[in-house]
Structure 1
Amino acid sequence: MTENKRLLDIKNGYNFRDIGGYPTNDGHTTKWHKIIRSGNLAELDAKDQAYLKNYGITNDIDLRSKMERDSEPDLVPDGVKYSQNPIFEQKERRTADVMLQRYSEDPTIGKLHMKHVYENLIESPIARNSYRNLFQRLLKDPNGCSLMHCSQGKDRTGMGIVMLLFVLGVKEEDIKKDYLASAEQMKPYVQKQIQHYERYNINNIFKENVNALYTVSIDYYNAAMNKIKELYGNMDNFIHEYLNLSDSDVQKLRAEYLD
């Protein structure tokens, strides 16, 4: 097993991060080598896969839709258990024509779309049931180290990690910091997307929207938090009602994932 590192040394992927080392409100810290968050594993080479295996990864939990999994299947390191837990099922593919039509005229539409996505992660019964399944998985299989990911590891994964850190009692300033760290990690991906679309003579409005779609923002985080407050009142109610976790479940998670 390698040393404790926030950012993992993955060359052919985005946003691979350990959530260990964060202090809680009652004096504990999150364990290292227990939960890794990341983008997809579709581009890993043999060296990347060996690195993850050596880091201690034992579970690969894929939060993507079937469409995403089929188009970019995970390259799972040998001996790592793979499981699917889609947060929602994607109903349409973002073709170039659709993207250009939707995002070339109004520079605010990308950010508005993302805020809606975050609200939907909280109010959608489908997303709620999927996050409940995710936490039951963490409760039933606490041994080893789980890698949790979606396509870029920033939204579905981002909110899953936000929820987990709240359950573990991590201070909100550190929860925000961890969430917002995806902005820096996604810069190369944003540039890759812009370069991909430049063949279509895109304008600056389109570029601004692409950046909004493929980064994170405190506005997105706040959209989710405001929806939690609207529907559940506070985070404690959210943990018990949305995630369906009992006080005993919370204590079990803290016993396993905190030092």
Structure 2
Amino acid sequence: MDQQFTRTLNLAGASNFRDIGGYQGQDGKLVRWRRLFRSDHLAALTEQDTLALADIGVSRALDFRGDAERAALAYAIPNVRYHALSIEPTVVQRAKEMVLAGEQMTAPIAVSLMQDTYRAFVSHNARQYAELFEHLLEDDRPLVFHCTAGKDRTGFAAALILLSLGVPRPVVMEDYLLTNALYRRPASFNNGAPDEVLNVLWRVQEDFLEAALQAVDADHGGLGQYLERQLGVGEKERARLAELYLTEPVHKKS
């Protein structure tokens, strides 16, 4: 990792805010630092946090939260353009339905629900992820994309971006799993569920992202065809993304 940059930013009001730069992509080039950030929700940022975002030049925020989530925890950041790319939290809805039906949520059921959620990102939410890439292709002004915890909707978004830039899958998975070390789950979200269930719903597992990537391969013929046919990101757009977000590594003199 380039020593002049850090992966995470220590914000008081967001625990999962991080830079996805520095990874090696296609042709040995590196994803540019301080251009692409992923995060949990930004409604609890302090004044000092907003100054930190201004200092790194963040000018766009892309919010994957659903309508009720955005209404409950709305925010506005000075000089940052806000864009809603709504993906409703289907796991939360399914959990509520189970409670109303008198069914018990268990860890295995929660894992299955999470995998179904990730497959749905691929099949049902292509429009929102296509919009994400439209914003990325506009220019290289620093932006942050997020949902509530910055782990699922955001995690799949980060994976798509990094994969489109040629970052290898194992490295993309490592970035995805960083959430488990960073995200601080709010106590208010516990809702009395057992810890074993909460540890599924509020953390990430390789199985979750793998479910989405396997759906991309099995149902859409692989990443390249999915990007082009479902997200409108063909060869020309991928070349533009590389131009905007990849850079030659700096070789230090011995």
Q: Give me the whole-angstrom Cα distance separating, in 1, the residues matched to 2:95 and 2:234.
A: 45
**SS of corresponding position for 1:169:** coil
Which deviates more from structure 2 when the two are superposed, residues 161-170 or residues 240-249?
240-249
Shift of 1:213: 0.6
Q: Give me the whole-angstrom Cα distance separating, in 2, the residues matched to 1:39 and 1:13.
A: 6
Whether 2:109 is the aligned partner of 1:109: answer yes
Which deviates more from structure 2 when the two are superposed, residues 229-238 or residues 14-23?
229-238
* AA partner of residue 38 (structure 2): R
**SS of corresponding position for 1:11:** coil
Is the 8 Å Cα contact of residues 103 and 110 (structure 1) preserved in structure 2? no
Query: How do 1:107-256 and structure 2 match up within 5 A?
Result: 107-124=107-124, 127-140=125-138, 142-186=139-183, 188-189=184-185, 192=187, 196-197=190-191, 200=192, 206-256=194-244
In the TM superposition, what whole-angstrom CA distance separates every residue of 1:220-244 from its partner, at most 9, and x where no partner exists?
0111111111111221112211212
Q: TM-score, normalised by structure 1?
A: 0.86
Q: Give me the whole-angstrom Cα distance separating, in 2, the residues matched to 1:224 and 1:92.
A: 15
Q: TM-score, normalised by structure 2?
A: 0.87
Shift of 1:189: 0.9
* AA partner of residue 232 (structure 2): N
Q: Identity percentage over the alignment?
A: 27
Is the 8 Å Cα contact of residues 60 and 148 (structure 1) preserved in structure 2? yes
Root mean square deviation of aligned Cα: 2.4
Whether 2:54 is the aligned partner of 1:64: answer no
* AA partner of residue 109 (structure 1): I
Shift of 1:25: 3.6
Task: Report how many residues are paired.
Answer: 243
**SS of corresponding position for 2:60:** strand
The change in CA–CA distance for 1:91 and 1:228 in structure 2 (over 3 A counts) is closer
Is the 8 Å Cα contact of residues 140 and 245 (structure 2) preserved in structure 1? no
Is the 8 Å Cα contact of residues 110 and 201 (structure 2) preserved in structure 1? yes
The change in CA–CA distance for 1:248 and 1:223 in structure 2 (over 3 A counts) is same
Unaligned runs of 5+ in 2: 248-254
Shift of 1:79: 1.2
Is the 8 Å Cα contact of residues 91 and 113 (structure 2) preserved in structure 1? no
Is the 8 Å Cα contact of residues 40 and 152 (structure 1) preserved in structure 2? yes
**SS of corresponding position for 2:22:** coil
